[in-house]
Chain A
Amino acid sequence: MSAQTLYDKLWQSHVVHTEPDGTALLYIDRHLVHEVTSPQAFEGLRLAGRKPWRAASILAVPDHNVPTTGLPKEQAGVQLSEAAEKIYQRWFKSIEDPIARLQVETLDQNCTEFGITEFRMGDVRQGIVHVIGPEQGATLPGMTVVCGDSHTSTHGAFGALAHGIGTSEVEHVLATQCLLQKKSKAMLVRVEGVLGKGVTAKDIALAVIGQIGTAGGNGYAIEFGGAAIRALSMEGRMTLCNMAIEAGARAGMVAVDDTTINYIKGRPFAPKADLWDKATAYWRTLVSDQGAHFDALVELDGAAIKPQVTWGTSPEMVTTVDGKVPDPLAEADAVKRSGIERALAYMGLQANTPIIEIAVDKVFIGSCTNSRIEDLRAAAAIARGKRKATNVKQVLVVPGSGLVKQQAEQEGLDKIFVEAGFEWRDPGCSMCLAMNADRLEPGERCASTSNRNFEGRQGQGGRTHLVSPEMAAAAAIAGHFVDVRELMSEVK
């Protein structure tokens, strides 16, 4: 057999049937569900008199609409139980928006009706769907993982084939356990070298998008490889694969190694005893073979990557922290030039302004991109013993799950944040997309660890700059963007 890419292996092992034009029925191992993109799918299922093909493949959680305040204190350590149910009832009533509350309620009802495991509000395991899947070991190497959410690419960090799907596809997977899919082309993004201090997976992701553009990965599944990727923790790999969709690729992935396997060991859904050995032996084959063919190759020097800051309204509108806001006059392409002009007008920025002179009104540390324990530790290391700048109105720190929150509190990170004037919140998607009450007001400027700087994403008229957790915390302290690398030499 000829040399195969990781993507080839994952694809081939899940094909159930192929149409003459290459459209395949791909078997789905894990289906993650949240409240926003599933109600119409369950309704469709009911109307057609169908049932989920394999309810045990599904893990559901409300995350987009949930409030990040008001969770009763007793929550710590509580799993689905009578006590959790009581907490849930109380917290649930704190969703003030009746339409949002109905959506969360609808998810609960659908999960009860169809016998689906759900981590409800109030359960310590509740959190952002792309944080809790890996945290529980529900995402495993060699799996196909789908969710009605574009950031499902996150789970590819485990050597899984994971992508976001629409609601019709959610219904299709519920009903058939399969997804209709055509094979993508394969792209290798190779990052060699050693990342500099203060440079993170987020900076790699933004640097890649800056290089290939937000449409650069359209039609591709991206594998991230090279020494700089192998050196990343699982949290870092998740951050990177999470942003693959911002490069246009429906799936991002990283080959399995010791880091992957060590992360999974002992997690609730992970195989145990004899099965563990059998599983890990198989998982270790989930790497691209030597000499495997990729349709495209993108190379970056990890040592040359600097902290990144977006300046516009698309993740490809990005530069380095020591850079400047671009000048549209320097752009030859007319469509791109008008895009830059429109972005600068929306962002309220002047051409050629140095990035470090841009002041921020709010800071958001959270989202499925950067809300895991490692992200919170990194932000806390910058904030320790400091205080947010007076011009910064609000700094939100939103852990990715109840368990991340618990861990952070055990490490005392919450105290560091609170002493710095940051707000320590409850888990959820929060101000990444501002479906709950956390949002920017028109004209407010935010340093955000999330994934999208689109117009209105964090609130109508809000202005988003995407950065790493370290850079976000540093901006909160300084009141404007600063090169976190300079700060770090002070710290240690």
Chain B
Amino acid sequence: MDKFTRLEGLVAPLDRANVDTDAIIPKQFLKSIKRSGFGPNLFDEWRYLDHGEPGQDCSNRPLNKDFVLNQPRYQGAQILLARENFGCGSSREHAPWALLDYGFRAVIAPSFADIFFNNCFKNGILPIVLDADDVDRLFKETAASEGYRLTVDLERQLVTTPGGHSISFEVDHFRKYCLLNGFDDIGLTLQHAEKIKAYEEQRRQTEPWVFTNA
């Protein structure tokens, strides 16, 4: 996993609440057995006018010009601004894989769905929860000035606007530590292997039926 420390990037505003993971990456692309290559199909049904299928060359597909990510001013965006309950629905990790492959490294919203939120951290994407009022202000500022960029500093837990206004955000200490260092958490967990074995042994005594095979 890539480290996440500090990001200064262009902001793209997606002004909808309850954006679900079916919208982020539609089901037909879930048939892939790989982790990469989902970027061209991010928001596929909103982004293109035709129906997309896996393995298709997306460069010649008709674009929905009204969709925000197709507007020239938002090309190259690395920070996605969204509304309440972003990433709800299916647990598909293909959603953060698609966001990452497209180029997003941070998503800012008033709230996220739990599984999606968690999946982001496993892939070096920082989901940032800010007050609805702050998010609203960022939407207005993004709309008002082309080329609007934000700075995200994970170490200091701050989002800073071009005007120098800083907004602090919360992040779990353990998640921050993993993200700052780009740690593979399986490796970290296996440092506790002896503890896991001891726990397992004790449960085998108290609840043996949990360990019986099919």
B23 at the binding interface (Cβ < 8 Å): yes
Q: A27-B203, A56-B213 are in contact. Are A169 and B20 (CB under 8 A)?
A: no
Does A172 have its Cβ within 8 Å of any Cβ on chain B?
Answer: yes
Q: How far is the CB of B208 from chain A (nearest CB, A)?
A: 6
Considering the complex, which residues of chain A in the window 82-117 have a beta carbon less than 8 Å from any beta carbon of chain B?
A: 97, 99-100, 102-103, 106, 117
Which residues of the partner chain B approach A171 to less than 8 Å between Cβ atoms? 186
- Contact at B122–A168, with CB atoms within 8 Å? yes
Which residues of A lie under 8 Å from residue B28 when comparing CB positions? 435
Residue of A nearest to B198 (CB): A16
Across the interface, which residues of B come within 8 angstroms of A177, CB to CB? 196, 200
Name the contact of B18 in the complex, choosing from A53, A148, A214, A219 (C-beta under 8 A): A214
Is B207 part of the binding interface, using a Cβ–Cβ cutoff of 8 Å? yes
Query: In chain B, what residue has the closest Cβ to A59?
Result: B214
Residue of B whose beta carbon sits closest to that of A181: B118
Q: Which of B35, B172, B213 contacts A40 (CB 8 A)?
A: B35
Q: Say yes or no: is A268 at the interface (Cβ < 8 Å to chain B).
A: yes
- Contact digits for A1-29, partner B, Cβ 8 Å, 1 yes 0 no: 00000000000000011011111010101
- The interface bits of chain B over 77-96 (1 if a CB of A lies within 8 angstroms of the residue's CB, else 0) are 00000011100111111001
B180 within 8 A of A: no
Chain B CB count within 10 A is highest, among A20, A39, A100, A176, for A176
On whether the beta carbons of B20 and A218 are closer than 8 Å, the reply is no
Cβ contact within 8 Å between A214 and B85: yes
A248 adjacent to B88 (CB under 8 Å): yes
Q: Contact: B122 with A169, CB < 8 Å?
A: yes
Taking CB atoms, residues of chain B closer than 8 Å to A102 are 31, 33
Interface-forming stretch among B57-65, B108-116, B159-167? B108-116
Known: A269-B214, A456-B23. Contact between A250 and B114, CB under 8 A?
A: yes
Decide: B123 and A168 in contact? CB cutoff 8 A.
yes
Chain A residues within 8 Å of B26, by CB: 456, 460
CB within 8 Å of A: which B173-188 residues: 173-175, 185-186
Interface residues in A212-241 (C-beta closer than 8 Å to B): 214-215, 218-219
Q: Take A100-B31, A166-B115 as given contacts and tell me if A457 and B85 are in contact as well, using a CB distance cutoff of 8 Å.
A: no
Least CB distance, A200 to chain B, in whole angstroms: 23
Which A residues lie within 8 Å of B140 (CB)?
A: none
Task: Please state if B89 and A150 are interface contacts (CB–CB under 8 Å).
Answer: yes
Instruction: Report if A71 contacts B (CB, 8 A).
Output: no
Q: Is A470 an interface residue (CB 8 A)?
A: no
B34 at the interface (CB under 8 A from A): yes
Within 112-130 of B, Cβ neighbours of A (below 8 Å) are at 112-115, 118-119, 122-123
**A interface footprint on B24-41 (CB within 8 Å = 1, 0 otherwise):** 001110111111000000
Indicate with 1 or 0, residue by residue over A292-333, a CB within 8 angstroms of chain B CB atoms.
000000000000000000000010100000000000000000
B156 at the interface (CB under 8 A from A): no
Pick from A17, A184, A219, A435: contact of B27, CB below 8 A.
A435
Q: Are the CB atoms of B33 and A103 closer together than 8 Å?
A: yes
B20 and A454 contacting across the interface, CB-CB below 8 Å = yes
**Would you call B114 and A27 a contact (CB within 8 A)?**
no
Residues in B neighbouring A142, C-beta threshold 8 A = 207, 210
Closest to B120 in A: A166
Q: Is A208 an interface residue (CB 8 A)?
A: no
A-B contact count (CB 8 A): 201
B30 nearest in chain A by CB position: A36
**Residue A256, interface by CB 8 Å:** no
From known contacts A27-B199, A335-B83, A455-B22, infer whether A150 and B17 are also in contact, taking CB-CB under 8 Å: no
Count of chain B residues near A, Cβ 8 A: 62
State in angstroms the CA–CA spacing of A314 and B88 once bound together: 10
A434 and B27 within 8 A (CB):
yes
Is A43's CB within 8 Å of the partner chain B? yes
Q: A454 to chain B: which residues have CB within 8 Å?
A: 20, 22-23, 89
Bound-state Cα–Cα, A454 to B93, Å:
18
Contact across chains for A452 and B22 when beta carbons are under 8 A apart: yes
Expressed in whole angstroms, the Cα–Cα distance for A113 and B209 within the complex equals 25
Partner of B30, one of A182, A271, A435, A452: A435
Residues in A neighbouring B83, C-beta threshold 8 A: 335
Given contacts A21-B172, A99-B32, are A279 and B209 in contact (CB under 8 A)? yes
A178 close to B (CB within 8 Å):
yes
B115 contacts A165, C-beta separation under 8 Å = yes
Q: Mark A98-142, 1 if CB is under 8 A from B, else 0.
A: 011011001000000000010000000000000000001010101
With a cutoff of 8 Å between Cβ atoms, the chain B residues found around residue A168 in the complex are 93, 119, 122-123
Q: Which partner residue on chain A sits nearest B112 by CB separation?
A: A218
Chain B: minimal CB distance from A456 (Å): 5
In the assembled complex, which residues on chain B have CB atoms less than 8 Å from the CB atom of A446? none
**In the bound complex, do residue A25 and residue B196 qualify as a contact, i.e. CB atoms below 8 Å apart?**
yes
Q: Which of B23, B34, B92 contacts A455 (CB 8 A)?
A: B23
Partner of B55, one of A99, A279, A339, A433: A99
Cβ–Cβ contact B209 & A271, under 8 A: yes
In the complex the two chains form, is B195's CB within 8 Å of A16's CB?
A: yes
Cβ-closest 9 pairs across A and B: A271-B209, A168-B122, A39-B33, A21-B173, A166-B119, A166-B93, A215-B85, A164-B91, A150-B91
Residues of chain B touching chain A, judged by Cβ–Cβ distance below 8 Å, are: 15-18, 20, 22-23, 26-28, 30-35, 45, 51, 54-55, 83-85, 88-93, 96, 111-115, 118-119, 122-123, 172-175, 185-186, 189-190, 192-193, 195-196, 199-200, 203, 207-214
30 interchain pairs, CB-CB under 8 A: A16-B192, A21-B174, A25-B192, A27-B199, A29-B210, A40-B93, A43-B33, A48-B186, A53-B196, A56-B213, A59-B214, A103-B31, A136-B214, A140-B209, A148-B91, A150-B90, A164-B115, A165-B115, A166-B119, A176-B189, A176-B190, A182-B172, A215-B111, A218-B85, A278-B209, A316-B18, A335-B17, A335-B84, A342-B16, A457-B22
Beyond known contacts A25-B192, A335-B15: 11 more, CB 8 A cutoff: A21-B174, A23-B174, A27-B199, A150-B89, A168-B119, A168-B123, A176-B189, A215-B85, A218-B111, A218-B112, A457-B22
